[in-house]
Amino acid sequence: MKIEVGKDNPKLRQKSREIEKIDKNIWQLSLVMKETLKENNGVGLAAPQVGQSLRMFVFEDLETKEIFTFINPIIKKMSSEIIEVEEGCLSLPNWWGEVERSKKITVEGIILEKNSKNRRKWRFSDIEACIIQHEIDHLDGILFVDKAKNLHYQTPKSLNSKYEI
C-alpha cells in the first residue's frame, strides 16, 4: 500500500473520522496496514498515512514484535513528566527532530482482535507512549514536524538504528 508523503499533503492534515462499524473492510485495511508497516520497517502507521481518513493505527510492540490495530483511540491520561525523543515518520522520509512527549499515557479504545469490540484502557510508557502519541497526532492531522526542535534531514546512509513511526 502506498504511503502518503509530504508535510503539506491534505490527506495527512485532516482530522480523521471515527469508525462506526468494524466490518470486513476494516479487518482488511488492518491486515494491509500491518504488511505496509513491516515492509517499510516502521513501528507505527496511521490510516491517514495510507490515504484513509479513519481513526485507526497499527503499532508494533517493541518487546514482542507483535503488531496491534487500535480503533478510535483516545488518550485519557498523560503524565506531567516529559521525555524528549528523536522522531521520524514514514510520511516524511529521512526527516528527524526532537519532540517532547508525555512519558506515560493511558489510552482508551478498541484493539482489533477476534471477537473484541469493547473499549478498554491500556497504559504505555517511554518510547511506546511516544509512538502512540505520534500516531494519535496523525489522526488529528498533526505531524511531528509541527512539534519538533532541531529538525534535520538525514539520508539513509547516515541513519543509525532510529525508528520511523
User: What string of pLDDT tens digits covers the 165 residues of the chain?
Assistant: 899 999 999 999 999 999 999 999 999 999 999 999 999 999 999 999 999 999 999 999 999 999 999 999 999 999 999 999 999 999 999 999 999 999 999 999 999 986 666 789 999 999 999 999 999 999 999 999 999 999 999 876 555 545 566
User: Is 86 among the residues known to form the active site?
Assistant: no
β-strands 149-153, 44-46: how paired?
unpaired
Task: Say what the pLDDT of residue 156 is.
Answer: 61
Task: Say what the pLDDT of residue 164 is.
Answer: 60
* CA separation for the pair 153, 144 (Å, rounded): 14
What CATH superfamily is the domain 10-158?
Peptide deformylase (3.90.45.10)
Task: Say what the pLDDT of residue 114 is.
Answer: 66
Task: Say what the pLDDT of residue 155 is.
Answer: 73
- Distant-in-sequence, close-in-space partners of 38: CB < 8 Å, separation ≥ 6: 67
Domain residue spans of the chain: 10-158
- Catalytic, out of 60, 87, 128, 135: 135
Nearest Cα residue to 59 out of 49, 45, 40, 71: 45
